[in-house]
Amino acid sequence: MHTFSHIDTSGVLDMKFNPQCVGKDHVLAIALSDGYLSLQPLDIYSDAEHMWGSDERILVVDESTICLSVDWSNQMIADSDPLVAVSLSNGQMSICGRRDGSLEVLQKWNAHTLPYTTIPAEVWITSFDPQDKNAVFSGGDDGIMKLWDLRLQGASSRPVATCSEFEAGVTSMCWNKGDPSYITVGSYDGHVRLFDKRNFGHAVSDYDVQNNAGIWRIKYKHNANYYVDGAASATSGTKNELLLAAMRAGFIVMNYDADRRFNERVVYLEQGTESLAYGVDYVYKKGSDVDRLEGYVGSCSFYNHLMHVWSYDYHSCSVCLSTVLFAQHCQ
């Protein structure tokens, strides 16, 4: 494997593509370690030399604060002018967007502090409600998940709802677009929890991964795009299948049933025993048989600097991650 194209930045903590193309460009929101949010246009149809356009950067707070995660407000809502939520290492949340055509910080507030103190707690993760751009969730090192209404943010900065049933920091959030009333949440405590956003004081399902797990990232299969003649389309189906990057417990495939109870399907994908599983995602394309999709899973881990790409049987209902197509050491 070789590097197709690259740009130089400070440390990258998170990145997400705008779900909707801007002209011919795919715009990548990047959370940077020097306090900047970068919006990087990418023309996938250009050659490598001209693939990256000029990025827009905005200093969200200051250069001593780390941008930890980002999310777009237009996951399921058509919006040519979406918002970007940014969670920060200084305990704050920030909402960025355009005002008079310029990228600006539109809102910023103190969101999380360590229990019984005024000490800021890292806001590890943020996520918009995919059906409501005014509703944004945050999860912090204080072990609390909060829901914020952007129409109410002001001097008080009070969440409209909270959940504190976690035993450690809240680190990951993901929505299943096929079941968008429910948000799946991961924590350093090794549990995967499913919440009804309409009443999320208590989880409707709770699964303990064990094996010294910490749930750093969650990705749903049906949120992934597949590619037909270069065009992205949403996958379809009814399986509520998800991938976990579970730190010391490796990479795990799970699903939940009609009663929304979690079932573990694959315990561990070999990535190295002295590593932390941090990143994982799905992608699909049409196979030689036009009625079938060919699937791939990308995974990456900390300490051993490994990236794997796995082949994946999209249609199988059994254990389906099989062949490692390549393993790349990254510097």
Q: Could you tell me if 43 and 158 lie in one domain?
A: yes
Q: Specify the length of the chain in residues.
A: 331
Closest CA to 144 of 177, 111, 176: 111
How many domains are there within the chain? 2
Domain membership flag for residue 175: no
Please state the pTM of the whole predicted model. Answer: 0.85
Range(s) of the domain holding residue 271: 209-331
Closest CA to 60 of 98, 27, 93, 102: 93
| Per-residue pLDDT at 91 | 97
Q: Could you tell me if 153 and 238 lie in one domain?
A: no
| Per-residue pLDDT at 234 | 41
Distance, CA of 246 to CA of 213 (rounded, Å): 5
138-197 residue pLDDT tens? 999 999 999 999 998 765 678 999 999 999 999 999 998 888 899 999 999 999 999 999
β-strand pairing of 225-228 with 276-286: parallel
In this structure, of 18-27, 203-212, 286-295, the range with the lowest mean pLDDT score is 286-295
Kindly indicate the confidence band of residue 284, based on its pLDDT and cuts at 50, 70 and 90: low
Chain centroid to CA 70 = 8
The residue from 108, 133, 164 where one domain ends is 164
Kindly indicate the confidence band of residue 248, based on its pLDDT and cuts at 50, 70 and 90: confident
Buried b (16+ CB within 10 A) or exposed e, 31-52: bbbebbbbbbbbeeeeeeeebb
DSSP string covering 69-94: EEEES-SSS--SS--EEEEETTSEEE
Domain membership flag for residue 9: yes
41 or 298, greater pLDDT: 41
Q: Could you tell me if 28 and 154 lie in one domain?
A: yes
Residue 290 corresponds to which tokens in the numbers above? 């036009």
HSE-CB at 215 with a 13 A cutoff on CA atoms is: 33
Flag whether pLDDT at 231 surpasses 70.
no
Flag whether pLDDT at 71 surpasses 90.
yes
Kindly indicate the confidence band of residue 318, based on its pLDDT and cuts at 50, 70 and 90: very low
